[in-house]
Amino acid sequence: MEDTVAEKKPRTAGDGDGDGCNGEPSGTAESSGGGGGRLVERLPEALLVEVLGRLDLDDACSAAASCRSLHAAANAALSALTAIDLSAFASSNAILGRILAGNGAVRSLTVNCSLLDDSAASVIARGSLRELSLLKCSFSMSFFVAVGAGCRNLRSLKLEMAVAPDILYSRYSGFGTCLAPIYTGCVYLETLWVKFPLLDPRTAEYETGTGLPLIPSNIKDLLLQPVSHSRAKTVFLKTTSLNKHITDSLESLSLVLDTITDELVMLITSNVHKLVELCLEDEPVTQPNLPEDLTNVGLQALGLCHNLRHLSLTRRCCDFRRVNDFGILMLADGCKQLRTIRFGGFSKVSDAGYAALLHSGKDLKKFEVSNGSCLSDLACLDLEKAAPNISEVRLLNCALLTSDTAKSLAPCTNLKVLDLSGCKSIADSGLVSISKLPNLTLLDLAGADITDAGLSALGNGRCLISSLCLRGCRRIGSNGIASLLCGTGTINKTLISLDIGNVPRISCRAVTVIARNCSMGCDSSKCSLRMLDLAYCSKLSRNFLRHFEPPQFRGLRWLGVGKNVAQRRGCSPTVAEVLERKPGLTICCNACDMGCRNKSHPDIRFLQ
């Protein structure tokens, strides 16, 4: 930890011997010569530790570089953290070791493992851990043996593999063999997630269900991606030789399948009696034929799960053509305690079906529909009365929705997340209504028909928006971004993530406005933008990356630029030069979702 906080030093006008070559921060009370450093020196160390302990990890490290008192306080604060999330950047073995050095209290750890190898197990495997999430990892057998031996009290293990299993595990009998030491050593394990995001459940030869050894009977939360429906059925079939089976304790189940079928749904509902959460997703190659499909019969079976609180059924590419309002009405009649509903690909379900779900109970908090071709503005009428506690609404690619839906949502004062991406008829009048939502923190209007005037209304509103997506809104331009961020509202104080990719009228002027209003500096009232997507903004000049050179965008951690920028010749500065000057920045050229959440791939920093 000593080396970690010392590595982040502020640049002064006269970088020289006073720059902290001995591993100490350069901004000491003596070197500063002013009263600021001495004031910090006089504050109680316990107070400084308490303050730094409330900051994000990178903010605490930045503060540690200012003076010796904060340096020592940061070391003490970070060594006492019980939850550490390192998913935003990929650390090396050495950096990870420094961050976790001296910390014997950490109970929850999330790590981006893109740059880690098997030797990182000596740092990660800790007896204090209860929850461990490993993202973009490619570890072999020895790593899992070490985790199984060192994390005896582990309750939750979430694995997101960055490679196909046949690349690393061909010398073993399969990836499931690597999990055997985990099952043996972590006897209290209750949550198990195994994801291979790069594998397609339709065509992958490897299936999680075949590679896993017998899943421990004490697992309560299980996620498998991918797995075929035929292999998934073997997980839930009870055998007479077992006194206890996973179905006796399972409460949450998530499967990414090749096809969702009535048979699988009925098998789950008849055997898993404690089921509280069910998430099923598929992506069939072609439209399934009977009996290999989900119909109203499967929905009727789900209606018998009276304890179900969270339900997600989504189909990509194709749709659930054999489910209509009748099946949804039977589901709504049986499941009256749903708090989360997520439906995708139900092309035959109309407003009547969706309204029945919305009015089935008062506990609903999250509602999502994607590709609802028959969903119109009528479904959301009086939503604030039907679901008074609703906090998240996502209506994606629903072509019939207009600004009237946004107006219907305006009375939902508890709403924190609103995603209307792909709803191309949302116009400026809808933004006027949205701007009145006092608790809104995430807004996605990708592809909407809004203009600069609508952004002006949002910029003068009272929303506490931290994440805003305007991707593909082709009628907005640099003037709109200026109206958004220079208005009298609060968004320029709260915005952390901004996506304006694929907007042809965005120019360097917009980047300048963003830098002035959303870049951490001497004005503490301004927000510090962490993620910005400018991919395929064709009006940006060849040398627009100069706007990202220090000291501008000091808080920026992720920047999306698109492949056209990475392939340009003669740019000044180049992507490589910006990365060299900003070691904490990741630049993505793969047209990913914000923060590369939708893909498990190395970004441009690691490719170089």
Q: Residue 401: pLDDT above 90?
A: yes
pLDDT of 576 = 82
pLDDT of 37 = 53
Nearest Cα to Cα of residue 227 among 252, 179, 250, 261:
261
Q: Residue 390: pLDDT above 60?
A: yes
pLDDT of 210 = 44
Q: Residue 329: pLDDT above 70?
A: yes
Residue with tokens 């008062």: 362
Q: Are 600 and 162 in contact (CB under 8 A)?
A: yes
Q: Are 403 and 429 in contact (CB under 8 A)?
A: yes
Please enumerate in sequence order all residues whose Cβ is within 8 A of that of 537, keeping only pairs 6 or more positions apart, or say none: 500, 501, 502, 503, 504, 506, 507
Name the band, by pLDDT with cuts 50, 70 and 90, for residue 124.
Answer: very high
Task: Choose between 171 and 479: higher pLDDT.
Answer: 479
Measure the CA–CA gap between 63 and 73, rounded to whole angstroms. Answer: 10
- Count other Cβ atoms within 10 Å, centred on residue 240: 5
Average pLDDT, the chain: 84
Measure the CA–CA gap between 576 and 135, rounded to whole angstroms. Answer: 25
Per-residue pLDDT averaged across 475-501, rounded?
93
- ∠ Cα 310 316 318 (to 5°): 120
Measure the CA–CA gap between 17 and 391, rounded to whole angstroms. Answer: 54
Q: Are 600 and 113 in contact (CB under 8 A)?
A: no
Name the band, by pLDDT with cuts 50, 70 and 90, for residue 200.
Answer: low
pLDDT of 169 = 58
Q: How many residues does the chain have?
A: 608
pLDDT one-digit tens code per residue, 59-91? 787 788 778 888 888 888 888 889 999 887 788
Name the band, by pLDDT with cuts 50, 70 and 90, for residue 584.
Answer: confident
Q: E-assigned strands of 251-356?
A: 252-257, 277-282, 310-315, 340-344
Q: Residue 565: pLDDT above 50?
A: yes
Q: Are 408 and 395 in contact (CB under 8 A)?
A: no
Nearest Cα to Cα of residue 421 among 344, 531, 508, 317:
344
Token digits of residue 473: 């809104």
Domain residue ranges in the chain:
402-607
What percent of the chain is predicted at pLDDT more than 90?
Answer: 52
Nearest Cα to Cα of residue 332 among 299, 296, 360:
360
| Range list of H helices, 486-547 | 491-494, 508-517
Measure the CA–CA gap between 418 and 435, rounded to whole angstroms. Answer: 12
Q: Residue 330: pLDDT above 70?
A: yes
**Is residue 87 within a helix (H) or strand (E), and if so which, with residue range?**
strand 83-90
Per-residue pLDDT averaged across 346-360, rounded?
94
pLDDT one-digit tens code per residue, 153-163? 999 999 998 87
Task: Choose between 574 and 498: higher pLDDT.
Answer: 498
Q: Are 254 and 224 in contact (CB under 8 A)?
A: yes
- ∠ Cα 87 89 93 (to 5°): 95
Q: Which residues of 537-565 are buried (b: 16+ CB within 10 A; e: fewer)?
A: beebeeebbebbeeebbebbbbbbbbeeb
Q: Are 137 and 172 in contact (CB under 8 A)?
A: no
Q: Residue 23: pLDDT above 70?
A: no
Q: Are strands 497-499 and 531-533 parallel, antiparallel or unpaired?
A: parallel
CA–CA distance from 480 to each of 338, 399, 475, 500 (Å)? 40, 25, 9, 11
Name the band, by pLDDT with cuts 50, 70 and 90, for residue 398.
Answer: very high
pLDDT of 239 = 62
Q: Are 407 and 377 in contact (CB under 8 A)?
A: no
Is 45 strand, coil or helix? helix
Is 202 strand, coil or helix? coil
pTM over 0.75: yes
- Count other Cβ atoms within 10 Å, centred on residue 32: 16
pLDDT of 602 = 44
Burial of residue 248 (number of CB atoms within 10 Å: 0-12, 13-18, 19+): middle
CATH architecture of 402-607: Alpha-Beta Horseshoe (3.80)
pLDDT one-digit tens code per residue, 500-546? 999 999 999 999 999 988 865 545 556 689 999 998 888 888 888 88
> Residue 303: CA atoms inside 13 Å, Cβ hemisphere, count?
16
Measure the CA–CA gap between 73 and 66, rounded to whole angstroms. Answer: 12
Rg (CA), the chain: 26
Name the band, by pLDDT with cuts 50, 70 and 90, for residue 212.
Answer: low
Please enumerate in sequence order all residues whose Cβ is within 8 A of that of 119, keeping only pairs 6 or more positions apart, or say none: 93
